[in-house]
Amino acid sequence: MDRVLGIVGAGKLGTTLGLAASDADWQVLMCDIAPAEVVAMIVETMVPQAQLVSLPELVARADIVMLAVPFGLSGQLDYSLLDGKVVLDPMNNWPAVDGDVAELHGWTGSTTALIAARNPKMRIVKTLNHLGYNDYAADARSREVANRRAVAVAADDRGAGELVAQLVDDIGFDPVPVGLDKAKLLEPDGPVFGRWLDAASMRQLLLVSAAGSGSDRR
């Protein structure tokens, strides 16, 4: 049976990962909150194998729903559609792009925890946010290559984490499963963000960093 990745967001990250997933034999569905004609042109150009659909159809058909819109616009999505779905959160908060996000005032946890609170029935996984979008093309390697670049996959739902880890593996990276309490460590100010690490180094750094923080903030 075909594996289906639904990507909400046709920006640089969404289209790069959509192309990578298509090349790895995933069926890719895409939608965006931008005007349909603009999105259709982007998808046709950047991810020609993908199918452009509505958000309800994407959610209904996808095994994984990836939210790849700017974090500041993520509140516009209809999270009520995502009950029971495996939801991949690759978003980061970039103040220069997102502006002032009221939800973050006084918040010390991860942005993923805020996303998860919008629908607690989602099976949320944090990953694919701590590399640059160009890295997903430049650093992808086949499984036969030793010491591939590692990508952390943070989840508390074992089945959801394993499914997303398979996607990460398929697009050319070594998945490193961790608990969702490590999501904060994957953000732009975290210890692994932007770093080239193999799986062993990634595990060790996340372990040390989590112990040093003395916190399990999500």
Q: Which domain holds residue 91?
A: 4-213
Residue 9 forms part of a structural domain: yes
Global pTM reads: 0.94
Residue 78 forms part of a structural domain: yes
Residue 29 forms part of a structural domain: yes
pLDDT in tens, 135-192: 999 999 999 998 899 999 999 999 999 999 999 999 999 999 999 999 999 999 999 9
In whole angstroms, give the CA distance from residue 33 to residue 74: 10
Lowest mean pLDDT among 6-20, 36-50, 55-69: 36-50
Residue 38: CATH number of its domain: 3.40.50.720
pLDDT in tens, 47-57: 999 999 999 99
Position 5 pLDDT exceeds 70: yes
State the residue for tokens 């974090």: 71
Mean residue pLDDT across the chain: 94
Domains in the chain: how many in total?
1
pLDDT confidence band for 1 (50 / 70 / 90): low
